[in-house]
Amino acid sequence: METEKKFVEYISDTKFEDLPSEPVDIIKTVILTVLGTTIAGATEEVSKAVLNQVREWGGKEEATILIHGGRAPAHNAAFVNSVMARALDFCDANHPGMHVGSAALPAALAAVELAGGCSGEEFLNAVTVGTEVANRINLGSVYNGFDPSGVCGIFAATAIAGKILGLNQEQMLNALALALNKSGGSRQSIIEGVLSVVLIQGFTAQNAIICTQLAQKGMTGPKNFLEGTSGYFHLYGNDKCDAQELVGDLGKRFELTKTLFKQYPSCGLTQSSTAGILEIIAEKGLTPEDIDRIDVTVAPHVYNMVGQPYKIGDNPKVNAQYSIKYCVANALLRKSSKLKHFDEPYVKEPQIMPLTKKVHVTGDPALDKRGLSAMDMRVRTKDGEVYYQSMDFVPGSPEKPLTDEEHMARFQDCVSYSGKPLPKENIEKLVSLVNHLEEVEDVRSLIPLLISNNSYKV
């Protein structure tokens, strides 16, 4: 259990002053990103349904439900806040599809309220360290249809909550071990375009708080939760565990620096196709009327997730978010990709479906060698012209990072999209506090800025 021990020691012993500036700055961006997607996703149907259920459950008022206000048991507040954060699929992501921030941040905020507050330095320290641990575990994972957000992301949320709540090393190990028994989620939800995609994220935050609180109460889990004969790497890693890759240079090498910040509000696997068509039409001035056929080639895994024939089911937004055909057609028609473009009226606009039929997606194993985002595009016009675009790295990836202006454009798109808008002064103060979070005395000061009626009291 050396790997487990090293992770627990790293989580427990790391202090804010031990952290380099780069991973801390990335975590600040994750925090602002997730706060933006929470604001935007608060009034989505899935969010309202979960909110109503959490309120119906009732219980001890431990933590705040963001945007809407009111309080609930910490694990249920984390649940609904996480669902809001992931509802529009515009949050941060990590290869091969793990969404950490939209579960980790809601769990962290719930833990802060349980703890009676914590400083900005303590908060950044916990979120950075916990996120890094999940990214390390993710390196040894082979998901085979499991959803990494629920399978692996729970270790981030649990470590973060446990560190904020002051778990000792024995309790921390047990919390993470209990998290193994709560990890789960299937990518079949993505393939079928159903709302459990979002609920998996909520379960992750909810279960992280549960595991942390149970560990505090003395509940135990398997000490070899990673390397045991039926541990994580047997279940989700094909029994392959490279200890050096997992725990080597802890505190010096940061895997979280590979975080993807999406430029477009759809699945990470659609980003390269969206960027590709936008670059072609910007350069060539093409219109939908000019197009005869668009061919998109991606890796087989990508094709299976987002490249299959497009159809509108019971959840048009989710169907569109996880479809290369829709994302390319949308970008071609509207010359951009914004949150509103995935609302049902836009998805069902009469002009869009004929355009999706002009987009043909195929999977080619040769693209596996170029990376998960690899994409080749061939656009043929009605007058016989042919244009090509090839992409290995998408905007928002570490290889092609977004500018500060582009990050703020994403955030403002979320703010302006919200069906329950916050006062302008709240947004401005929120951005300022996140940018200088290490100077904040009590992170709970962010919470009243994230409630539309400012009813929160510390």
Tens digit of pLDDT for each residue in 95-117? 888 999 999 999 999 999 999 99
> Residue 372: its pLDDT value, please?
84
89 and 197 assigned to the same domain: yes
State the residue range of the domain holding 361: 268-391
Q: Do both 252 and 314 map to the same domain?
A: no
Residue 300 and residue 335 in contact, taking contact as beta carbons nearer than 8 Å: no
Q: What is the CA radius of gyration of the chain?
A: 21
Kindly state whether residue 131 falls inside one of the protein's structural domains.
yes
Q: Which of 342, 365, 391 is the last residue of a domain?
A: 391
Note whether residue 456 is domain-resident.
Answer: no
Q: Domain with 330 in it: what CATH number?
A: 3.30.1330.120
Q: Are residues 300 and 166 in the same domain?
A: no
Give the pTM.
0.94
Please give the angle made by the CA atoms of 362, 367 and 372, to the nearest 5 degrees.
100
* Co-location of 306 and 160 in the same domain: no
Q: What are phi and psi of 451, to 5 degrees?
A: -125, 130
Residues 34 and 127 in one domain: yes
Residue 292, phi then psi, degrees to nearest 5: -100, -45
Work out the burial of residue 397: count CB atoms within 10 Å of its CB; fewer than 13 is exposed, 13-18 middle, 19 or more buried: buried
Do residues 272 and 240 both lie within one domain?
no
Both 105 and 163 in one domain: the answer is yes
Residue 396 lies in a domain: no
Regarding whether 416 and 327 lie in a shared domain, the answer is no
C-alpha 363, offset from chain centre: 25
> Domain containing 75 — which CATH number?
1.10.4100.10
399 lies in some domain: no
CA torsion sign for 68, 70, 76, 78 is positive
- For 112-160, how does the pLDDT look when each residue is reduced to its tens digit (9 = 90+)? 999 999 999 999 999 999 999 999 999 999 999 999 999 999 999 999 9
**Which parts of the chain register pLDDT below 70?**
453-458
Q: Are 237 and 274 contained in the same domain? A: no
178 located within any domain: yes
Residue 5's pLDDT is what? 96
